[in-house]
A and B are shown apart, each in its own frame.
Chain A
């Protein structure tokens, strides 16, 4: 159909570029989908809304009096003032991690215990996870 060789060449280029763009976009979106981490409150976790086998974040307050340490391993309960979820973590904690303060844990729910790979305590004394902030007011 396309007679002129220059036009055919141009068409080839356009096709090649389109393929490259689509492939890149597809790769980016797939990486994006694979690495989305959703945020849940302890109430949602107990209601079974959080998927298992996938990394999620839970946020709330570190329940006062719930922190127990053994060497590097720490366990505590994360609460949204309605329900609480047991959390365990091994490693050095951030500076602002304290009982009665807000924290976010990333990890997976394993047989009723949230096994955290990372604990984030926001670098702000007044920080509250947004949902909790709304409810608590």
Chain B
């Protein structure tokens, strides 16, 4: 019964989104919509948004109930859960499958729509109606996909006695929150998309448009950042390879919208503050969401064979692809038709804050293009020529560093430039000494750590300059307030600069930490595969690792071979007992490596257990050797903290008072929209 109710609720949500969405899309198709009662339309659209959210949330709750109760008469539950599974993973298995995760995707979309309906009362009525209409139409599309080709409530009759189990790779606490965060990001760009398309439909860009759009884009970007961080950290801990970014197509699928989103939030800043780069900002809003959809297509269609591609059903791929074509195609056609009406907006000098932000956009777009080439070309090549190929990490690394390292240097300068027109010498002069100091410091560090590599020096210098430039700018902003006669306390003055400014400071400091962390870990990481026998000790850097032995253990749904290693420093002081495991999950008999990691601010030590090595004749069984992989990763923690700082920075901007919408902020906008000449 529960499954049928769940499906019914989804169908109702689909019907409501479709009917209300299309009806209003038709009613609002013209720039001026005569005869449409906008107040009534907004009431209906808002109610539908809340209603569909409640329906989909209830349906999601029912699916979770089925998983918690291990109802194996539902195909999805039978394929992705097991009675042995610990309770928290039974719950997480709700979105561990393709069907369940797509239901989550839809829930997120409905959640964002409801949030927009809730927070957009102050928008111009015609504009708000268009935004909500577009979001409802998107909802209808995706609910249709869910119901028609990936129904999470499909029955399995007769029911099976035991489920197939959740992929053991996904049985990890961070894997539980990785998909929701990632989807919040992906789907969040739908809001910026709807704002942009609504503006195109109206054929004009309200000057406050960017201010409305910014918090949504920032929020989506922050969620996406967290999602990618969790995915990457999971790969680091769970795949047992010590790597944290593999340039796997699935990772690239999430990186592409992130790069577009990064360009978008900066471009929005220019449009918000200076009313410039308008067309470009609109285009980025469309592209960021298009890439989110592309990411969903790549991951969900089974085009890629990897842990994420649960689905290998070509029908789904074709459906998502046609949906992608339709949504992206329609929005780009609309863009092409209307972008002239919107125009580029304000002009600015070649050296100005705008031009530097544009440079950021160009670098992000170039990096995006490079990732896209490396991710999609192999797919096209295989379809067209039948030859299977891939491009590995060396390509991405060779391309990414020269494209994005300059961004760190530009970022250090950009906040010091004035809007519209600025002069470079005046800004660069005070930075000269710190730059030299940073260069010297970085060179000395690299010489001391050896071997000498220019790229490491450039990376560390960039990180130092960026950190210094950002912090110094904040210091001067605070000082400027007090010289201008503000006698408030430090806290009060900091408050005056606004949450948006401090969000930028935190995120940019995060980028500095990221550049430093990546430079260090890429230059000085150390990897060793070896065979160890009990009581054997190996020296790694300033640490020693002693292999104690391996014993058997068991967990709720697995048996494990549990290795014990002592990590010692200096005169035999044990600093960490490392316990890597080799688990075998009973349901599917899959083997999983659980690495042991000693986290540190300046280095991680990482041990993963390989396999037992057959003893040579005449050796005692207790002398059983094991193959072991050991890593030392300097500054690895910096990478995670850096990503967290970027996300926190993005989140901080949401508290800015400028984004609080007041009705007074958009006076007579309705009248303006009603009186503007009809174009369509």
Contacts and interface: CB of A to CB of B under 8 A. Distances in A.
B536 to A, nearest CB: 13
A38 B391 CA distance: 9
Interface string B599-634: 000000000101101100000000000011100000
B436 interface: no
A72 B402 contact: no
Contact of A72 (B366, B588, B627): B627
A28 B628 contact: no
Contacts of A93: 610-611, 627
B329 interface: no
A38 B399 contact: no
B531 A35 contact: no
**A contacts with B: majority SS:** mixed
Interface in A101-118: 106
B530 interface: yes
Nearest to B377: A32
Nearest to B630: A92
Contacts of B391: 32, 35-37
B608 A92 contact: yes
A90 interface: yes
B185 to A, nearest CB: 24
Contacts of B350: 13
Interface in B374-427: 374, 377, 387-392, 394-395, 398-399, 402-403
B178 to A, nearest CB: 15
Given A35-B395, A36-B389, A125 B588 contact: yes
Contacts of A90: 529
Please indicate which of the listed interface residues A31, A32, A37 has the most CB atoms of chain B within 10 Å of its own CB.
A31
Given A95-B240, A127-B305, A24 B395 contact: no
A39 B582 CA distance: 31
A57 B391 CA distance: 11
Nearest to A29: B373
B641 interface: no
B388 A38 contact: yes
Size category of the binding interface on chain B: 35 or more
B306 A31 contact: no
B591 interface: yes
Interface in B579-606: 582, 588, 590-593
Contact of B591 (A32, A35, A96, A122): A96
Size category of the binding interface on chain A: 20 to 34
Nearest to B391: A35
B664 interface: no
Contacts of A57: 390
Contact of A92 (B389, B398, B402, B529): B529
A91 B305 CA distance: 24
Given A72-B530, A90-B529, A127-B305, A35 B392 contact: yes
A92 B613 contact: no
Interface in B622-661: 627-629
A31 B531 CA distance: 36
Nearest to A90: B529
Interface string B344-388: 000000100000000000000010011001100100000000011
A92 B390 contact: no
Interface in B515-535: 529-531
23 contacts: A27-B399, A27-B402, A28-B369, A32-B395, A32-B399, A34-B395, A35-B391, A36-B390, A38-B389, A39-B387, A39-B390, A69-B613, A69-B614, A71-B531, A92-B611, A92-B627, A92-B628, A93-B611, A93-B627, A95-B591, A96-B591, A123-B239, A131-B388
Given A39-B388, A92-B627, A123-B306, 16 more contacts: A28-B370, A31-B399, A32-B395, A36-B391, A37-B389, A38-B389, A39-B387, A69-B614, A72-B529, A72-B613, A92-B611, A93-B611, A95-B240, A95-B590, A95-B593, A106-B392
Q: Which 9 A-B pairs have the closest CB atoms?
A: A35-B395, A39-B388, A92-B610, A31-B398, A91-B529, A123-B307, A92-B629, A95-B591, A35-B394
